[in-house]
Amino acid sequence: RVSGAELVAERVGLAARIAAADLVLTGEGRFDRTSVRGKVVGTVARAARDHGVPCLVLAGEVADGLVHATAAEGVSGAWSLTDLVGAAAARRHAADSLTRLARSISGQWSQP
């Protein structure tokens, strides 16, 4: 038995991809304390941390006070679609809202 997230990370060469990146974006529907415990977000964030690359989480919702609690796991920041556009719009226009959020956040983190 192995972690599904770690198995997929190995198969897709996640470590090498992160080592070549300046910024990592990952996400899930609701970012909470369980997100960094065996789920994809935690696996990606720890790999980014191990390579010294900032890792940002984009989620439908983000639990309060979570970024501080997950910084040691490699999470540099977390943003919520519902904070950006509201819950109804986030559900109705998820792809557009996520694209808008990703562009906004990555622009804040871009290197000159």
Q: Which residues contact 5 (CB under 8 A, 6 or more apart)?
A: 38, 39, 40, 42, 43
Which of 42, 92, 89, 84 has its CA nearest to residue 66? 42
Q: What is the token pair recorded at 81?
A: 């679609």
Distance, in Å, from the CA atom of 44 to the CA atom of 26, rounded to the nearest integer, reads 7
Distance (Å, whole) CA 95 – CA 50: 30
User: What gap in Å lies between CA 99 and CA 92, rounded to an integer?
Assistant: 14
The per-residue pLDDT for 21 is 94
How far apart, in Å, do the first and last CA atoms of the chain sit?
A: 44
Buried b (16+ CB within 10 A) or exposed e, 1-33: eeeebbeebeeeebeeebeeeebbbbbbeebbe
The ranges of the chain with pLDDT < 70 are 110-112
